[in-house]
Structure 1
Amino acid sequence: MKRFTTLLLLLLSVSACAQKPSQIYQDANRSIEERVADLLSKMTVEEKVMQMRIFHANKGVEIDEEGNLTMSDDVKERLKIGIAGIKNPGEHNTPVAAAKGNNALQKYIIEQNRFGIPALFVTESYNGVDAEGCTKFGRPITSAASFNPELTHRQWLVVGNEARLRGMHMCHSPEADVVRDPRFGRMSEAFGEDTYLVKENVVAAITGVQGNYDGLGNGTHIGAVAKHFAGYGQVLGGTNFAAIEISERTLIDEIFPPFEAAVKEARTLGIMASHGDLNGVASHANPWLLTDVLRDQWGFKGYTVSDANDIGRLFYFMGVAESADAAALLGLTAGMDVDLYADDAYALLPKLAREQPEIIELIDRSAGRVLRTKMILGLFENPYVDVRETERRVRMPTSLALAHEADEESIILLKNDNNTLPIDEASVETIALLGPALREKTRTHFQNIMPYKNYIVEQGFKLTDEQKSVPRVNTETAAGVDRLVELAREADVNILFLGGDEHTSKEAFFNGALGDRASIDPVGPQNELLRRVKALGKPTIVVFTHRRTLSITGFAEHADAILDGWDLSEFGDEAMAKMIFGEANPSGKSPVTIPRTIGQLPFHYSGKRINNKKGYLFMENGPLYPFGHGLSYTSFAYTNAKVSAPTLTVPGMITASVKVTNTGSMAGKEVVQLYLTDEIGSVTRPAKELKAFRKILLQPGESKTVSFKITPEMLAFTRLDMTKGLETGDYTVLLGTSSAKGETLKFRLIAD
C-alpha cells in the first residue's frame, strides 16, 4: 500500500508539473515589462551581474570547419550562471559552420543557467558583416558618398539578415560619429563630416540592420548599437583615446543629432559610449550624457555598452576613479549597463553589492535592459538558427548585385580634364594597371568588363611592410617605381592605383597598435610615380582608394582624371572599370571637404563663416575639392531657382525649387543639394549647412524640377542663452551641385 501511495504521489507530481503554467518571463503573450520584472525577481545578484558582461570569443570559443564547438575551461567557467553576450563567435568560420557552432554554443548557455536565459552574440559591420563568407560591401564613408540613404538602407538590410543567419543578434555598428579630422585612423568607419548626411545614413543603416524593427522579433535581423557616444570623431590630434574638447553648443547642434535620430527615429537597441572624455568628464562616467540626455531627454529604452574595457580604464587610464571598485561604481551610477570584455570592472559588482546593497537597484535596472533586449529579439522563444536558411540565403545573387550597385553609385569623379574619361575603347589596345593600391583581382575585374584588350598589370611596390600592429613605411621602393615607369611606356593609357589601404589607416588599439597619422600626404613615392608616368605624354588616370581623406594636390596637378572610390566592395575594381570604359556614369559626391594640406585643419565646409576671412601665405585659399563635389560624364544645368514665398512664419513651411536639366549626351544621376545660411545670429553661425538632398536620374535633354520643404525646425540652433530655438531674420538658400556651386535665393523668417 505504501508503495502504491508513493507511486500515486509521484504520478500526481509529474502530472502537476506537466500542467503547471510556464513562468511569466517565459510567456511571450505577456508584456516585456512584466516578463523582465518576473525574471529579475527570481535572480541572484551574481546572475544579474552576468547579464551585464560580455567577453570575446577569443577566450576559447572554437568552431571547426564542420561547425563543431569546443570551449576552453575559462569559457565554461564564465558561462556557469549565464552571460549577457559573447563578441564575434564564429567570425573566422563559414556562415554555415558559424551557424552550427553558435547553435551549439547557445544550447550550452541556455542549459547551464537555471532560467534558460540565452546569450547575445555580437558582431560589427564596416564592410558588411565582419565575418568570413558574408557579402562585402563598401565602407560606411563609401556609402555616404552615394548620397543615397535608401541604398545604404538596403545594404544594411542584407547585413542584418546575413548576421542573423550566422547566429548573431547585435551589431556594434553603425558609427553615428561626425568625423572631420583625417588624421584619425577610423575615419572610414563613419559617414563623413556633415551632421545631416551622417544622420540620414545612420537612420538608414539602423533601420536596415534591424529589419525596420519588425525583423528583430521574427528572427530575420539583429539589433544595432550606435556608437561612440559622443564626440569620438573629435579626439584631439586625431589620435585614438585622446581627450575631446567640444563646446556645448557644437555638441548639441552638430554632434548629437545623429545619435538623437538613432534613438528617436531608428529605435536603436543599443548605444556604445566613447573612449574619450567630454570636456573633462569621462564619457563612461558621465551621468549628464548617459542618463540626462540619452534617457531623460531622448527617451532611450535600450542598453548602453562600454567600449572595450573602458569602465575599468576610468581607474587605470582616465584617472577619474581611485580604484577598480570606484570605477565600477562610477560607470554603474552614470548609466553604463554592459561592461565589454573587462574582468576588473563589473565583475566586482557582486562584492560591492554586499557592501552597498543600495546599488542592487541600479544592477536591476541595467540587467533588466539587457533582458528586455533579448526578449525584443525573441531569443527566449527562438534562440537557434535554421542552418538550411543560412546555406540558402547568405551571399544571395541579389546581395552581390547590390554590392555592385552601391559601388557604382559611390564612385566620385573628382577631375576629368579634356574629357579623358570615359576611354574610347577603339583608340586603345594596351592598358596598364599599375600602382601600390592595386588589388589581387584587379586584372580579372577589368577583363570582366573589357575582355579584348592587352593588360599590363604590376603593383610595383607596397606602401608599408604590412605589419598588423605598427606598420612601417616601405623605403625600398626605387626599383619598383622604375619598373612601373618602364611598363607605362608600353601602354596606350596608364591607370595608376594610388591612395591608401587597410595598413595606412586603421584603428589604434590600446596596447601597442597604431593607426592614426600625423600627416595626410599619400604614403611613399606615389606623387613621384604619377609625375614620371604623366611625363611620358600618355593619358594618365588615377584610381584613388583610401580610408582617410588625403592631401592629393599632387594627384590633382598631374592626373588627367581622378576617380575616387574610398573603400569599395569586393567588386570595387569592376565598378571602376565600368566607369573608365563608360559603361557606367559616376554620380558620387564627396562626403568630406578635401583640403590642400594638413595645415588647413580643422577644415570642414560648415565651419564658422568667420573662419574664411583669411587664408595662408604662399598657398591658394579654399579646399582642393569642396564637400559635395563630384563630376559626371554628362552636364547639368540649374535654372529657374525660386522659393514659394519670401517669408517663412512659425508655424509654417515654404518650398525651394530648382529646374535641373541634363544638357549632355549621356544619362546620369545628379545629387541636388540644399544648403542654408543664417545671415545674422546671436552667436556666430556656420558658413552654410546641408539640410536636404535628392538624387535624380536624367536622360539626355530631360529636365526635372526638384523641390525641398523648408520648415522652422530646420533653422533651430542653440542660441546665446543656450536654449535651442529660432531667431527671426534673413536666410540664404543654395541649391546646387556641391557646397560651393549653385543657385542662391533669399527668404526671411518672421514671427507669426
Structure 2
Amino acid sequence: MKNKLIIILSVFLLNISITFSTLAQSNGTGKDILVQREASAAKKAAELLKKMTLEEKILQLLSYNSNGIPRLGIPNMASGEALHGVVSDGCTSFPQSIALGATFDPTLLKEIAKVIAMEARAVGMAQSFSPMLAVSRDTRWGRIEESYGEDPLLVTNMGVAYINGLQGEGTDRFSKDHIFATPKHFVADGEPWAGMNGEGSEFSERVLREIYMPPFEAAVKEAGTRSIMPAHHAINGVPCHGNSWTLQQVLRDEWKFNGFVTSDMDDISKLSTGGGFGGYKYVKDTLESCIMAIKAGVDMELVGRQYKKLTIAVKDSRLSVDIINLAAERVLRSKILLLGLSEPSVVNQTPTDKNATADAIANYKGGDDVWAKLIADGKFDTPLSERRSDWKQIVCDPSHDTLALKAAQRSLVLLKNKNNLLPLNKSKIKKLLVVGPIANLTNLGGYSTGKPRFYINVVDGLRSVTGNGVTVVYAEGCGLPSSQSDWSRVAAPLNIKNENNLLAKAVAEAASADVIVAVVGHSRKHLGENLDRDDLGLIGNQEILVKAMQATGKPVVVVFNCGAPISSPWIEENMPAILQAFYGGQFTGTAIAQAIFGDINPGGKMPITTPRNVGQVPCYYNHFPLTGPVNYYGSKSTPIYPFGYGLSYTTFKYSDLKILAPIHPNQPTTVSLLLENTGNREGDEVVQLYIHQDYTSLVRPVKELKGFQRITLKAGEKQLVSFPIGFEQIKFWKDNTWRAEPGTIQIMLGSSSDDIRLKGKVEFTAK
C-alpha cells in the first residue's frame, strides 16, 4: 500500500509540473509557488490516506454531503450553484450567462466571478458547479440561458475569464476569497438530440475537438480549473459518466488535468436504470454503475446517493481500494489547498470504531440508512461550512450592486431602431404605457439567487428613470401559460375570457398613451433545464398583444426579456424598435429603462443565432458552404438575427486593414484596423475577426470567429484594433491530430458574422 501511494504521488507531481508550467505562462506569474503548494498538499493528502478507513475515504467522494472528518482535521467542502450569482438568499444576482455572453466582455465577467467567489466564501461555499461551457447550437434546448452562446471561441474566452475570477490567479489562486470552479457539462451537451436536455448524440471526433472540447481544454490548460462535471447524455453510445476516453485519455492523459471530477445529479445511477427520467441500462445495477463511473474517472458523486455502495464493491473484490485512494487523494489535495486542515478532534470515533462499522455497511445492500445513522450519530459530524461573521457586509457591498448594474447595461442588444425611434425623449412623453406579462415579473432565469435582496422589474425601472415628468401606466395585456407540476411539461390552458379582458384593458389604456413599451418573452417556468421547446416564438397570446398595440397606431418599443432567442418574423418586420434583454439580474428593469431613454447606449451582440422558425434548426453561423438551393421552398434560409449582431445609437467606421506578414508554423502575424466612432455620442463596438480557408483536405466552415474585442469610443474618437493570426487560429483536426495546411487564409473583420466591413488575405506557408 505504501509503495502504491508513493507511485500516486510521483505521477501527480509530474503532472502538476506540466500543468502549472502551462498555467503560469497563461497567467504570467507564480509557477514555483503554485507547484510548491500543490506538492505540499499532495504530501499531506498521502499522509492522511494512511490514517483513513475505507468509509472515511469514500466519504470524501460524496459531494453535497457533510464530508469533513474532525478526528483528522479534514474540513467539509460545501458545494453549490453560482452560475450568475451565489444561489443563497440575499446574494447579488448578476445577469444570466447568455446575457453575459452578449456582453462579449471577458474582462467584465472575470470581475463578476471575483465577486461571486467572495460572496460564496462568505456564506460558506467552497465549490461552485459552474461555469456552463456548452457550445449551444440548438435553440430548442432549454438550457441555452446557462451558456455563453454558440461559438467555441466566445464560450472559451468567457469561460476562462469566469474560472480565473472564481479561483484567483497567480499567487492569489485559492486564497480565502476564492472557490473551486466546476465547468460543465463535459462534453457536447449544447446540441442534444431533438433539442431535449440530456439526450444522446452522435459526433465525429473532429466536431468534438473543434467545436465542443476547446472551452474545456482551455479551462484546464489556461485557467487550471480544479474540477469538471461530465454531461448527462451519451456520446456515440457511451454515457459521459462512464466514458474513459473523455475522462481519462483526453482529460487527464492528454490535457494533464490534475483536479477532481464531480458527477452531475443522478447520472451515476442513470448508467443502469436509475435517474429521475430513467436510465441507459448500460450496466445492470447501481453498484455496477458506481464501479464503472469511478473507474472511468468520476471522483465525486453529486449528492452521494450511490457511491456509498463502493464499500460493497471493495469488500467483494470487484473494485481495488487503489482506485478509491486515487479519487480520495484528488479531493483531499484540493481541500487542503483551499481550506487547509484544522486541529484533529478527539471527540469523534476512532479508527477501530470505523472498522467495526465497515462490515455492517458492506453487508447492508441498501447502504443509505446505515450512512444516515452514522452521520446522525456524529460519526461523520461536520456541519456545512459556517457563514463568516461579516457575510452580510460582503453580500451587501454597494460595489457589487454597481457591478451588477454595469453587467445588465452591457448585456443589452439593440435589434432594430427604425427612423431612430430610440432613445425616447422624456420631454415629449406625458403617458407611457407598459404592457406584457413579463414587465411586472421577477425574471432572473434558472439557477438564480434564492431570494434576491431586491429586483427591479421593467415597470419600476421605467418609473424610476422617467421620474415625475412621465406617467407610467401598466396593463398586463395577457397572461402566461403555467406549467404542470408533474414534470409532464404540459402547459395549463389560458382562460379565454380573462385573456380577452386583459387585452381590452391594454387597448383602452393605449388610446391615451404617447408611447407603448411591450415587454414580452418567457420565464424560468417556460424555458430552462428540462424545459425544452418545439416552438421558438412567443408563448401564450403575447404576439397577439403586440399586434393589438401596433394596430393602435402608437409608437411601440418591443423588449424581449428572456433566456433564449425569440423567433418572431412578424415583430421584426412590423415593429420599429426592438431591444433584446436576456435575463439581466437584479437591475433588469433599470438597465432596460436607461437604454430606452438613452441614459446608456446598448452595445451588446447576439451570442447566438435567431432562426426564423423551428424548421431552421440547427441554425448557426459557422456552417459548411451551401452547394444547393439557397432558400427553403417559399421561405428564406437566413436567420432573423445572425450571430454577433447588434446595433447602436452611434455609428462606426472600419478602415486601414493591415496584415503584417505571412503566417509560418511558429510565427504568427498581426491583423489590425482603425475603428472610428463616426456618430455624435459615445458607444461600444464589438470588432469581430473571422477567417476561412479554401482548398484544404477537409471542407471548412464558411467562417469561424477567431478574435473579438469590445471597444468603447467617444464621438469622433479612433482606436487601432489588432488581432494575432497563427497556427492556433487556422488549425483543424484531421487524422488524430491538429494540423494546418499551406494556402490562402481569408481575413474578415466586421460588426457581426453577416456584416463584414473589411476583407483581406494572408498566406500560410509550411516553411
TM-score above 0.5, yes or no: yes
In the alignment, structure 1 residue 499 sits paired with structure 2 residue 521: yes
Contact 2:519 2:561 in 1 (8 A): yes
Structure 1 residue 55: Cα displacement: 4.2
Deviation per CA, 1:75-115: give whole Å up to 9, x if none. xxxx6xxx2xxxxxxxxxxxxxxxxxxxxxxxxx554xx32
Aligned partner of 1:377 among 315, 338, 345: 338
Indicate how the Cα distance of structure 1 residues 396 and 359 shifts in structure 2: closer, same or farther if over 3 A, else same.
Answer: same
Indicate how the Cα distance of structure 1 residues 459 and 263 shifts in structure 2: closer, same or farther if over 3 A, else same.
Answer: same
> TM-score, length-normalised on structure 2?
0.84
Q: Secondary structure at the match of 2:414?
A: strand
Counterpart of 1:580 in structure 2 is 596
Aligned partner of 2:142 among 185, 192, 209: 185
Q: Secondary structure at the match of 2:671?
A: strand
In the alignment, structure 1 residue 289 sits paired with structure 2 residue 246: yes
Deviation per CA, 1:679-708: give whole Å up to 9, x if none. 222112111111111111111122222111
In the alignment, structure 1 residue 355 sits paired with structure 2 residue 316: yes
Structure 1 residue 473: Cα displacement: 4.9
Deviation per CA, 1:145-173: give whole Å up to 9, x if none. 00110001111111110010001100001
Contact 1:431 1:491 in 2 (8 A): yes
| Equivalent residues in 2 for 1:468-617, closer than 5 Å | 469=487, 470=489, 472-476=491-495, 477-508=499-530, 515-610=531-626, 614-617=630-633
Dislocated runs of 4+, deviation >6 Å: 27-30
CA RMSD of aligned residues (A): 1.9
Deviation per CA, 1:658-682: give whole Å up to 9, x if none. 2211111111111111011122221
Q: Secondary structure at the match of 2:389?
A: helix
Indicate how the Cα distance of structure 1 residues 29 and 149 shifts in structure 2: closer, same or farther if over 3 A, else same.
Answer: closer
Aligned partner of 2:460 among 441, 444, 455: 444
Q: Secondary structure at the match of 2:183?
A: strand
Gaps in structure 2 of 5+ consecutive residues: 1-35, 274-278, 344-383, 442-456
Aligned partner of 1:320 among 282, 288, 304: 282
Q: Which amino acid aligns with 2:480?
A: L
Aligned partner of 2:58 among 42, 45, 49: 49
Aligned partner of 2:293 among 312, 331, 344: 331
User: Counterparts of 1:569 and 1:214 in 2: how far apart (Å)?
Assistant: 31
Aligned partner of 1:453 among 460, 470, 480: 470
Structure 1 residue 612: Cα displacement: 7.5
Deviates more, 1:477-486 or 1:451-460: 477-486
Q: Which amino acid aligns with 2:512?
A: E
Deviation per CA, 1:248-288: give whole Å up to 9, x if none. 10001110000001111111110001110111111111111
Deviates more, 1:271-280 or 1:379-388: 379-388
Aligned partner of 2:745 among 698, 716, 731: 731
User: Counterparts of 1:456 and 1:185 in 2: how far apart (Å)?
Assistant: 32
Structure 1 residue 215: Cα displacement: 4.9
Counterpart of 1:688 in structure 2 is 703
Indicate how the Cα distance of structure 1 residues 726 and 664 shifts in structure 2: closer, same or farther if over 3 A, else same.
Answer: same
Contact 1:433 1:496 in 2 (8 A): yes
User: Counterparts of 1:245 and 1:49 in 2: how far apart (Å)?
Assistant: 34
User: Counterparts of 1:623 and 1:29 in 2: how far apart (Å)?
Assistant: 49
* Percent identical residues: 35
User: Counterparts of 1:116 and 1:459 in 2: how far apart (Å)?
Assistant: 57
Structure 1 residue 474: Cα displacement: 4.5
Counterpart of 2:75 in structure 1 is 118
Counterpart of 1:103 in structure 2 is none
In the alignment, structure 1 residue 341 sits paired with structure 2 residue 303: yes
User: Counterparts of 2:692 and 2:87 in 1: how far apart (Å)?
Assistant: 40
Structure 1 residue 364: Cα displacement: 0.3
Q: Secondary structure at the match of 1:610?
A: coil
Q: Which amino acid aligns with 2:522?
A: G
Aligned partner of 1:367 among 312, 328, 334: 328
Counterpart of 1:462 in structure 2 is 479
Contact 1:433 1:495 in 2 (8 A): yes
Counterpart of 2:717 in structure 1 is 702
Structure 1 residue 447: Cα displacement: 2.2
Q: Which amino acid aligns with 2:504?
A: D
Q: Secondary structure at the match of 1:407?
A: helix
> TM-score, length-normalised on structure 1?
0.86
Indicate how the Cα distance of structure 1 residues 430 and 471 shifts in structure 2: closer, same or farther if over 3 A, else same.
Answer: farther
Indicate how the Cα distance of structure 1 residues 213 and 432 shifts in structure 2: closer, same or farther if over 3 A, else same.
Answer: farther
Q: Secondary structure at the match of 2:87?
A: coil
Aligned partner of 1:36 among 41, 45, 68: 45
User: Counterparts of 1:282 and 1:620 in 2: how far apart (Å)?
Assistant: 38
Structure 1 residue 381: Cα displacement: 4.5
User: Counterparts of 2:37 and 2:630 in 1: how far apart (Å)?
Assistant: 64
Aligned partner of 1:206 among 147, 163, 180: 163
In the alignment, structure 1 residue 145 sits paired with structure 2 residue 106: no
| Equivalent residues in 2 for 1:735-750, closer than 5 Å | 735-741=749-755, 742-750=757-765
Structure 1 residue 245: Cα displacement: 1.6
Gaps in structure 1 of 5+ consecutive residues: 1-26, 57-78, 84-108, 509-514
Contact 1:234 1:245 in 2 (8 A): no
Q: Which amino acid aligns with 1:372?
A: R
Counterpart of 1:65 in structure 2 is none
Q: Secondary structure at the match of 1:450?
A: helix
Contact 2:560 2:578 in 1 (8 A): yes
In the alignment, structure 1 residue 642 sits paired with structure 2 residue 643: no
Counterpart of 1:24 in structure 2 is none
Aligned partner of 1:173 among 115, 119, 130: 130
Indicate how the Cα distance of structure 1 residues 381 and 686 shifts in structure 2: closer, same or farther if over 3 A, else same.
Answer: farther
Structure 1 residue 337: Cα displacement: 0.5
Structure 1 residue 471: Cα displacement: 6.2
Q: Secondary structure at the match of 1:224?
A: coil
The count of residues paired between Structure 1 and Structure 2 equals: 665
Counterpart of 1:251 in structure 2 is 208
In the alignment, structure 1 residue 303 sits paired with structure 2 residue 260: yes
Structure 1 residue 358: Cα displacement: 5.5
Q: Secondary structure at the match of 2:546?
A: helix
User: Counterparts of 1:626 and 1:130 in 2: how far apart (Å)?
Assistant: 33
Indicate how the Cα distance of structure 1 residues 128 and 358 shifts in structure 2: closer, same or farther if over 3 A, else same.
Answer: closer
Q: Which amino acid aligns with 1:501?
A: S
Counterpart of 1:89 in structure 2 is none
User: Counterparts of 1:393 and 1:213 in 2: how far apart (Å)?
Assistant: 23
Contact 1:464 1:471 in 2 (8 A): no
Counterpart of 2:368 in structure 1 is none
Q: Which structure's relative contact order is higher, taking Cα pairs within 8 Å and 6+ residues apart?
A: 2
Q: Secondary structure at the match of 1:545?
A: strand
User: Counterparts of 1:415 and 1:622 in 2: how far apart (Å)?
Assistant: 17
Contact 1:241 1:275 in 2 (8 A): yes
Counterpart of 1:76 in structure 2 is none
Deviation per CA, 1:526-548: give whole Å up to 9, x if none. 22211121121111001111112
Q: Which amino acid aligns with 1:199?
A: T
Deviates more, 1:288-297 or 1:180-189: 180-189
User: Counterparts of 2:125 and 2:172 in 1: how far apart (Å)?
Assistant: 13
Indicate how the Cα distance of structure 1 residues 406 and 474 shifts in structure 2: closer, same or farther if over 3 A, else same.
Answer: farther
Contact 1:215 1:222 in 2 (8 A): no
Contact 1:216 1:378 in 2 (8 A): no
User: Counterparts of 1:238 and 1:353 in 2: how far apart (Å)?
Assistant: 40
Q: Which amino acid aligns with 2:761?
A: K
Contact 1:651 1:712 in 2 (8 A): yes
Counterpart of 2:679 in structure 1 is 664
Aligned partner of 1:630 among 646, 658, 665: 646
User: Counterparts of 2:244 and 2:286 in 1: how far apart (Å)?
Assistant: 19
Contact 2:291 2:319 in 1 (8 A): no
Contact 1:235 1:245 in 2 (8 A): no
Q: Which amino acid aligns with 2:476?
A: Q
Structure 1 residue 385: Cα displacement: 5.5
Q: Which amino acid aligns with 2:491?
A: R
Q: Which amino acid aligns with 1:439?
A: N
Deviates more, 1:481-490 or 1:206-215: 206-215
Q: Which amino acid aligns with 1:257?
A: P
User: Counterparts of 2:38 and 2:706 in 1: how far apart (Å)?
Assistant: 43
